[in-house]
Amino acid sequence: MTNNTSNRGPLLMIGIFFLTVIVIAVLFFRSDTETLVDPVVEVETEVVLQEEQDIVPLPTIVTKTGTTIATRDFLLDEDVVLIDEALEVYMIASEPGPDGTLYEIFYFKGGGGGITISLLNPDLAYIRNLAETDLQNKLDVSLLRLCALQISVTVPRSVSPNLTAEDYSGIDLGLPSCPGSIAL
At residue 21, the pLDDT reads 73
- Comparing 100-109, 119-128, 155-164, which segment has the lowest mean pLDDT? 155-164
SS3 category, 79: coil
Check: CB of residue 154 under 8 Å from CB of residue 172.
Answer: yes
pTM over 0.75: no
- The larger pLDDT score, comparing residue 145 to residue 162, is at 145
In this prediction, residue 40 carries a pLDDT of 46
Q: What pLDDT digit, counting tens, does each position of 6-24 carry?
A: 677 777 777 787 777 777 7
Rounded Cα–Cα distance for residues 102 and 120 (Å):
5
Q: Write down the mean pLDDT value for the chain.
A: 82
φ and ψ at residue 2, rounded to 5 degrees: -70, -30
- What residue type is 94 in one-letter code? S
All structural domains of the chain with their residue ranges: 54-162
Asked if residue 108 lies in contact with residue 88, where contact means CB atoms within 8 angstroms, the answer is yes
